[in-house]
Structure 1
Amino acid sequence: MEHDVAWKKYDEADLEALEQLASEYIDFISDNKTERECAAAAIALAEERGYRPLDEAVREGRALRAGDKVWAQAHGKALILAHLGSVPLAEGFNILGAHIDSPRLDLKQNPFSESNGLAHLDTHYYGGIKNYQWVTLPLALHGVIAKTDGTVVEVNVGEDAGDPVFCVTDLLIHLAGKQMGKKASEVVEGEDLDILIGNRPLVIEKDEADGADDGDAAAGADPAATEADAADRPVYEKLAEKEPVKAFALKLLAEKYGIAEEDFLSAEIEAVPAGRARDLGFDRSMVIGYGQDDRVCAYTSLAAQLALADAALEKTGMCVLVDKEEIGSVGATGMASQFFENAVAEIMELAGEGGPLSLRRALAASSMLSSDVSAGFDPAYAAAFEAKNSAYLGRGLVFNKYTGSRGKSGSNDASAEYVARIRRVMGDAGVSFQTAELGKVDVGGGGTIAYIPAKYGMDVIDSGVPVLSMHAPWEVTSKADIYEAFKGYEAFLKNA
């Protein structure tokens, strides 16, 4: 069954709304390239629209009732927004769940090195990447450095026009005969993804390094005092003799951020592609940008939740944005943590429906769209896809009844009854949608967060936007699919 292209149905009002949404989306993913940045930006937008902190309500013992809007966060990297409805919470929620982490290069805890006049930062890649795609492109550094005095320094270098950028180098083609004969997975090894950060050495004048000038020496300066002066010199100056380029980089970091090399032991710095997302194509019909897996679904889910404004819902609507999906949804901020369940328990307690049994009933009665991207059919690589069960750019929101690998391993497989209910909701709202699998059966596969909330017994199905070049530094989506995803998510929150 072939679905029509969504573009054909749009009038001028639709096109204006589509372009407005796309513009706001481009700004969001350009300004927010880490899970911390996405969570902080989402909280700010939610508070502008009347959402209040859940922990504030808990401290005050403030009762929650229909129409109230609250947010909760976990370690600054995961977020839940809830808009309370009129029916008892035990009857379940309508939930949009997406992830806000994306593949990248993380700095190691001891990242600095110098060799042959070049200083580097050592990295450990995060998520599934093709290593060779990350060489020779401009990179920016985003993240935080936590110091032992309790302060947290935010780092963002490489995005402003006046900022420097960084890169991973590659071997010139003239000397790459052996390299070109390797398998793609071996062309660039993970340990070779070192980021080039400097070439200029720190030069210490002799009198500055000795802690005394020639006049002091001639006057018989106290050797003990001179030795004490040398001991008081910044660590980067002491490094200058053996690793002068690294020392100069550390000097700049000390001056700009007040940090030392040992502070990187408690840092979370991510190297991501530098630069803004852009319109793609002569017709400006697509978006090219970093991190669209899965921020295209996270942003449209967030926008749909906020678009509810002060609507009177029957079922409570929730938007759940989590971390760590790219590495298995683990950790305190991943979907597999207790964050989601604990936040729901707190909401139910303040709504007068507390208790473990009520919580279990509510979760089992809930419905969820696991909002994650799908593989867009790419004619350049048609052999990897089964055409009639693939997602196509421009044909709308994608539903994946199941994901997983080969024999559906690791998949949540939505029930036929739930798929029918979703079809009805989308049809009634005039949302263009399509169904797909993630490539041919034995070619590969992938997973999402869907199987985790499904353990409560709730209905869950994967839904999202088709993407070209998924997990590459720059990914491609269609503005029509972004628009249809937003409309579909809003309809789900109101009518599922």
Structure 2
Amino acid sequence: MARRRMSAAQRAKKAAESLASFVVAAPSSYHAALEAARRLDEADFTELQERDPWTKASGANYVLRDGAIIAWRLPEDVTPTTPFAIAGAHTDSPGFKLKPAPDHEAHGWRQLNAEVYGGPLLNSWLDRELEIAGRVALADGSTQLVRTGAVARIPQLAIHLDRSVNDELKLNKQQHLRPVIGLGNGKGALDLVADAAKIAREDIVGWDLFLADTQEPTIFGDAPLVSSGRLDNLVSVHAAVHALIETVPSGVIPVIVCFDHEEVGSATRSGAGGPFLDEVLARIRAGLGATAEDIHRAAAASWCVSSDVGHSVHPNYRERHDDDCVPLAGNGPILKINANQRYASDATGAALWHGVCRNAGVQSQDFVSNNSMPCGSTIGPITATRLGIRTVDVGIPMLSMHSARELCAASDVDGLERALAVFLAGGWPEHS
């Protein structure tokens, strides 16, 4: 009996549900990288350790570094000059990170002392149940991922005590954003972490711990829409992972790289400004017996697609967007363009991306900022500068970027994954 093909709506819902489960499993960048690895394991990828020798490269592999992961699959027709098809994303999201002295007490309330990480929309974090998640370093030299479940909340000031709050809310990052975790002289932050991880408090000697919203993603509406924390940029991580799993490459080496620390500048060993991707690509080439000439030839023929979210036109703030470029949620992935190279896209990148979307049967649209609005940036320009590989910046349009709860269209989640799958398989337009 012939297998029934899914409709576009069914496909979008399936993609959204898979993304939702990914977000739930990934309250921190470390968890995101590990969840990506788990899904790759299920697809018969093999984990490699950076400290071990890599023999002649073959099959499908991945390597983890802190909160980052790189994975690739070698085609049967691979040669030393086969170009790379690289899909890049980032695993971290804006929020709060626990300080070295994470406990605070004031007027009978036990609180957390946290530092703002990146550029979160601060008011969106108020009155939400938060968990502590990340990694701890133990006295024996090992590390362990941890998550506590809901233990904290940043309470708003009642309107009765500030009648102007609806007109001019101002949050002092040091004074007003300390989460409450309990009353009296109870357990502190690391005690809660130790209990959740089933380890002794005294064994914890270092930590990279963040706050994460515990509300699970919601899929709603007849479109449907996806409301969730950390869509920036787990939507791209999820799409890249599943695109690679689904890829049967020919004529290219598909690679996905999910960096950490994009929200704070990328200048770390596991960020786009560090050597991680360069080192892994060099080891892949070495396993293929590539000469220096081969490496340069392959790089000149390679492409990198940097995928991160962008802004959909906001129906309540139309004046904040460009007059003529009006990307809308549900109308497909976006090509991100900026004259000052905050994005790496250029004419050839536009031809590549729109051609890939066409080959995938996916609608695409352009994004550019209003001239009076500052433009953010991505891993794209950093990767292009480090590697010299042609790079294009893409993503999906969304609302409430950097909020504790962001909003996108499920059809765009599916469209991005389908486009990346075609890109990673080598389905590029002719002459790319």
What's the TM-score, normalizing by structure 2? 0.90
Does 2:277 match 1:340? yes
Deviations 1:86-116 (A, max 9, x none): 2434342111101110011111111112122
Structural mapping, 1:207-222, within 5 Å? none
Does 2:99 match 1:105? no
Distance 1:55 1:150, change over 3 A: closer
TM superposition shift of 1:12: 5.1
% identical aligned pairs:
25
Deviations 1:108-153 (A, max 9, x none): 1111121221111100011112322222111111122222233434
1:398 is matched with: 334
Distance 1:56 1:368, change over 3 A: closer
Does 2:178 match 1:194? yes
**Mapped partners of 1:417, 1:88: distance in 2:** 25
Q: Which of 123, 135, 157 is equivalent to 1:171?
A: 157
**Mapped partners of 1:81, 1:255: distance in 2:** 33
Q: Which of 201, 204, 227 is equivalent to 1:260?
A: 201
Structural mapping, 1:50-449, within 5 Å? 50-55=44-49, 59=53, 62-65=55-58, 68-75=59-66, 77-85=67-75, 86-158=77-149, 164-177=150-163, 182=168, 184=169, 186-199=170-183, 201=184, 244-245=185-186, 257-260=198-201, 263=204, 266-281=206-221, 283=222, 285-308=224-247, 311-353=248-290, 355=292, 358-402=294-338, 408-409=339-340, 411-437=342-368, 439-449=369-379
Deviations 1:303-335 (A, max 9, x none): 111111xx2521111111110111111111101
Distance 1:364 1:193, change over 3 A: farther
Distance 1:117 1:78, change over 3 A: same
**Mapped partners of 2:261, 2:125: distance in 1:** 20
Q: Which of 384, 388, 391 is equivalent to 1:457?
A: 388
1:486 is matched with: 417
Deviations 1:163-203 (A, max 9, x none): x4310122111111466675x5x33434431111111x4xx
**Mapped partners of 1:250, 1:108: distance in 2:** 11
**Mapped partners of 1:433, 1:253: distance in 2:** 44
User: Aligned to 1:411, what secondary structure does the other structure show?
Assistant: coil
Q: Which of 7, 12, 26 is equivalent to 1:13?
A: 7
Distance 1:190 1:113, change over 3 A: closer
Is the contact between residue 139 and residue 203 of structure 2 (CA under 8 Å) also seen in structure 1?
Answer: no
**Mapped partners of 1:461, 1:255: distance in 2:** 45
**Mapped partners of 1:450, 1:399: distance in 2:** 12
**Mapped partners of 1:180, 1:418: distance in 2:** 44
Q: Which has the higher helix share?
A: 1
Is the contact between residue 399 and residue 434 of structure 1 (CA under 8 Å) also seen in structure 2?
Answer: yes
Q: Which has the higher strand share?
A: 2
**Mapped partners of 2:80, 2:233: distance in 1:** 29
Distance 1:131 1:417, change over 3 A: closer
**Mapped partners of 2:276, 2:175: distance in 1:** 34
Matching residue's letter, 1:338: P
Is the contact between residue 29 and residue 260 of structure 2 (CA under 8 Å) also seen in structure 1?
Answer: yes
Structure 1 gaps, min length 5: 1-10, 159-163, 202-243, 403-407
Distance 1:383 1:412, change over 3 A: closer
TM superposition shift of 1:154: 3.5
Larger radius of gyration: 1
Distance 1:259 1:290, change over 3 A: same
1:233 is matched with: none
Distance 1:93 1:254, change over 3 A: closer
Is the contact between residue 58 and residue 346 of structure 1 (CA under 8 Å) also seen in structure 2?
Answer: no
**Mapped partners of 1:252, 1:398: distance in 2:** 42
User: Aligned to 1:124, what secondary structure does the other structure show?
Assistant: strand
1:228 is matched with: none
Matching residue's letter, 2:356: V
Deviations 1:32-87 (A, max 9, x none): 1211111111112112222123338953x53125xx21111212x11111111324
What's the TM-score, normalizing by structure 1? 0.79
Q: Which of 4, 16, 19 is equivalent to 1:25?
A: 19
Is the contact between residue 294 and residue 373 of structure 1 (CA under 8 Å) also seen in structure 2?
Answer: yes
Matching residue's letter, 1:435: D
Is the contact between residue 47 and residue 61 of structure 2 (CA under 8 Å) also seen in structure 1?
Answer: yes
Is the contact between residue 169 and residue 196 of structure 1 (CA under 8 Å) also seen in structure 2?
Answer: yes
Higher mean C-alpha deviation, range 171-180 or range 117-126: 171-180
User: Aligned to 2:423, what secondary structure does the other structure show?
Assistant: helix
Deviations 1:213-261 (A, max 9, x none): xxxxxxxxxxxxxxxxxxxxxxxxxxxxxxx3457x7766665644437
**Mapped partners of 1:493, 1:269: distance in 2:** 34
TM superposition shift of 1:362: 3.0
Higher mean C-alpha deviation, range 127-136 or range 325-334: 127-136
**Mapped partners of 2:372, 2:314: distance in 1:** 18
User: Aligned to 1:90, what secondary structure does the other structure show?
Assistant: coil
**Mapped partners of 1:89, 1:176: distance in 2:** 67
Distance 1:293 1:418, change over 3 A: same
**Mapped partners of 1:101, 1:190: distance in 2:** 22
User: Aligned to 1:119, what secondary structure does the other structure show?
Assistant: strand
User: Aligned to 2:89, what secondary structure does the other structure show?
Assistant: strand
Q: Which of 45, 48, 64 is equivalent to 2:42?
A: 48
Is the contact between residue 83 and residue 251 of structure 2 (CA under 8 Å) also seen in structure 1?
Answer: no
